[in-house]
Structure 1
Amino acid sequence: MRIAVIGTGYLGTTHAACLAELGHEVLGLDVSADKVAKLESGEVPFYEPGLERVLRRNLAAGTLRFTSDYGEAARFAQTYFLTVGTPQKKGEYAADLGFVDAAIDTLAPLLTSPAVIFGKSTVPVGTAARLGTRARALAPAGDDVDVAWNPEFLREGYAVNDTVHPDRIVIGVDRDRPGRAVAVAREIYADPIDQEIPFLVTDLATAELVKSSANAFLATKISFINAIAEVCEVTGADVTVLADAIGYDARIGRRFLSAGAGFGGGCLPKDIRAFMARAGELGANEALTFLREVDNINMRRRTRLVELAREACGSFLGARVAVLGAAFKPDSDDVRDSPALNVAGQIQLQGAAVNVYDPKAMDNSRALFPTLSYTTSAAEACEGADVVLLLTEWQEFRELEPSDLGAVVRGKWIIDGRNCLDPRQWRDSGWTYRGLGRP
């Protein structure tokens, strides 16, 4: 099929490259000419394992290219994926749908023949139906334009596999006018469907809520174990052993049940806030009030890490603090709402000199927090440090030995913000080890 993907951020670039990998001809569109030029040259503007290889392979094969011209996209394709951003509104919890609305308002007037638009962006429930009405009103093709919703479930660090081999495919269609969307989706995703990947057809509202609900559940699970970690800290219990024990229950499971610095990134924080805001707009404000506490617990973990660092230093004035990790998770350079950078910034504001090291996220970190000091290795970050904070569980940090840092630090304090080190190993080597929710 000939498919246009509108928006080439993290989601759009990944989706465009992987659709080409699935055998389709794909045109990625973005209003940023600079971004288009980079992608055309085979440069991925963010770190995602395996994506650059897929991008370059399909550029070379001629099955993938990029443009900033909506007219070219309308002439090229009859199937479109909407992958633009839906950030949190400034000063509000609600999602900013300006980019989504602009994409529809620009594309729809160019649609002179039957077309299917699949939304993939995470949007408040009710958005898809509104966009469908708007697109049909603006398009010369009128009622021959279908808007369906195909929510994304990508995990940063695993996005290529999650697109080519998803764990489920959800297609939401207007129950009063299902149109061609389901048939088109089955053709697009023929390979995954042949692999017996579940293919679920729902109404528009359900498809929108699937994504919001999935993110809310994952955030709740993370904050639940972090709340239990708070109890463990005052009782002397070990949250890591506790999580293992309850995780054996198949109804609970161990994934996303690791206590630590909490969640961040460009999805979970803003999506659960937008979900709360939309529920309030619809008159169901009491249904999701628990998510406010989920958010509060998450932010408290960051405050707790700052408190532990201050305890180690005595006072931040004149102290040197090493922060290992800046991305919100390993195998990513995404620093949006990163717990690691948030903690580093708070500590610096309270008077400490903070050195940060991350294997992939240094450039993005400098752009967001230019006043922090950045180094080229873990050892360099730890030179003269009074305390070391491990805040992103990169494999190279998980494999650190106490002797790797012992000779360069000023004080042998390590705060394991991801509970990924062996406390006994570090304590036996003369370090004071502190983990979240661990004795």
Structure 2
Amino acid sequence: MRMVVLGLGYLGATHAACMAELGHEVLGIEVVPEKRAHLAAGEVPFYEPGLPELLKRHIDSGQLAVSGSYAEAADFADIFFIAVGTPQKKGEYSADLQYVDAAIEELVPLLARDSLIVGKSTVPVGTAQRLAELANELAKDIEVEIAWNPEFLREGFAVSDTLHPDRIVLGTFPSGRAEKITREIYASVIGQDIPFIVTDPPTAELVKSSANAFLATKISFINSIAEVCEAAGADVTAIADAIGYDARIGRKFLNAGVGFGGGCLPKDIRAFMARAGELGAAEALSFLREVDNVNMRRRTRMVELTRKICGGSLLGAKIAVLGAAFKPESDDVRDSPALNVAGQIQLQGASVSVYDPKAIPNSRRLFPTLDYAPTVAEACSQADVVLVLTEWKEFLEIDPTDLSHVVRRRNIVDGRNCLDAAEWIRAGWEFRR
């Protein structure tokens, strides 16, 4: 099939490359010239394992093309995916939908054939209905159908999550063609016995919001338990292991630590709260405010713990921060707990050296005043405290004895509950979580 993907950021570039991998002929639309030039050359302007090879292969084969022209898009196909960003509004909790609206406003007046527009972006409930009304106003003697097919990508696993998802959700209005066409698009994926869930658009929009809210709640839950454990002298990791055996709970997302970040969970739970308030259901999601508070409190706690290790003051201390990305296998530093902690510690008078395998360029743009090191050893040179704040495999494989010869004082804080405590303690380190 021929299709267009509007917006080639993290979501759009992945979706476009994966649709080409499924055998479709794809045109990707990107309005930012620099990003468009990179993608047209088969280069991914961010880090995502497996995507560069996939993109380059389909750019070279001609299966995937990149353009900045909405007129070309309207002429190319009658199936369109919206994959533009929905950031948090400045000074507000709600989502900024200007890019979603602009995609409809730019595209629909140019359409000359009946078309299907499928949303992938994460949006507040009710957006598909509003866009359907907008498209109907802008369409010129044609039918433009709106449907919603939310993404459930994990950074670091985006290609696999697109080609081998755990479910496909489609929100469609009655009597439309969206279900038939979407089943054809994902035919080879559905053939893997992947559940294909068809519902109305508001439900599809809420599936994505609900999934993110649940994951954020689970992370903040175990971090709240960690606070109680600290007060009671208990082991939160043992608790997580024990309750994780319960099939109703599961072990995933139960590692206590510095909390969640990135471009999705923080903004999406805030937008979910804001939309619930607009619908008159604010009390239903009031617990998410505490989820957000717990998450931010974990960062403050990490700073306080580091200051305590340094004798009550960070002035003149040397702190090594291992990790800048909000999660491993990503260079995404949006709302990164690691960088937030590093910045707070520096503001309190410490010298902070940061190392991350992939996220240093993005970190420099966001926090230019921090020091950045090219290796673990250089970041930890003469450090008073080492903080592990992103659970990269490289950090899990550090030899504590080797690192002992680099630092000034053997203090390490495992901010992600990912290290072997016994191994570090045997090597003479003061180990804290």
- Give yes or no for the alignment of 1:161 onto 2:160: yes
1:77-156 to structure 2, matched below 5 A, reads 77-142=77-142, 144-156=143-155
Partner of 1:427 in structure 2? 425
For 1:90 and 1:110, the matched residues in 2 are separated by: 31
3-state secondary structure, aligned to 1:60 = helix
Equivalence for 1:180? 177
Conservation of the 8 A alpha-carbon contact between 1:15 and 1:163: yes
* Equivalent in 316, 319, 322 of residue 318 of structure 1: 316
1:411 aligns with 409
Any stretches of 5+ residues in structure 1 without a counterpart?
A: none
Q: Flag the 1:430–1:98 CA change in 2: closer, same or farther, 3 A.
A: same
**Which runs of no fewer than 5 residues in structure 2 stay unpaired?**
none
Residue 33 of structure 1: how far off its partner (Å): 1.6
Q: How does 1:203-218 map to 2 (within 5 A)?
A: 203-218=200-215
SS at match of 1:240: helix
Partners of 1:386 and 1:410 within 8 A in 2: yes
- Cα deviations across residues 266-303 of structure 1 (Å, max 9, x unaligned)? 00000000000000000001000000000000011101
Q: CA deviation at 1:141?
A: 4.0
**Partner of 2:332: helix, strand, or coil?**
coil
The 8 Å contact of residues 42 and 60 in structure 2, kept in 1 or not, is answered as no
CA RMSD across the alignment: 0.7
- Residue of structure 2 in register with 1:336 after alignment: 334
Give the CA deviation at 1:179.
1.1
Distance in 2 between the 1:41 and 1:244 partners? 47
What is the percent sequence identity of the aligned residues? 70
Aligned to 1:49: 49
* Partner of residue 243 from structure 1, selected from 240, 243, 248: 240
1:302-334: CA deviation from partner (whole Å, max 9, x where unpaired): 011101110111211111100000000000000
Q: Which portions of structure 1, spanning 4 or more consecutive aligned residues, are displaced by more than 4 angstroms?
A: none
- The whole-number CA distance in structure 2 between the counterparts of 1:2 and 1:136 is 23
Q: CA offsets per residue over residues 192-212 of structure 1, 9 Å max, x none?
A: 111110001100100000000
Q: CA deviation at 1:430?
A: 1.3
Q: CA deviation at 1:224?
A: 0.4
Check whether the contact 1:379–1:404 (CA below 8 A) recurs between aligned residues: no
Pairwise CA distance, 1:265: 0.3
User: Per-residue CA shift, 1:244-264, capped at 9, x if unaligned?
Assistant: 100000000011111111100
Q: Contact 2:168–2:194 (CA<8 Å) still a contact in 1?
A: yes
Q: Please state how far the C-alpha of 1:60 moved relative to its aligned partner.
A: 1.5
The match for 2:348 is: 350
Contact 2:382 2:408 in 1 (8 A): yes
**Distance in 2 between the 1:278 and 1:318 partners?**
45
CA shift, 1:27, in A, is: 0.5
Q: Distance in 1 between matches of 2:88 and 2:60?
A: 37
Aligned length: 432
Q: CA deviation at 1:429?
A: 1.4
Aligned partners of 2:196, 2:278: CA distance in 1, in Å? 31
* CA–CA separation in structure 1 for the residues paired with 2:20 and 2:385: 48
- 1:126, distance to aligned residue in structure 2 (A): 0.4
1:260-299 to structure 2, matched below 5 A, reads 260-299=257-296
**Alpha-carbon distance between aligned partners in 2 of 1:13 and 1:141, rounded to the nearest angstrom:** 32
**Alignment check: 8 A CA contact 1:5 1:28 kept:** yes
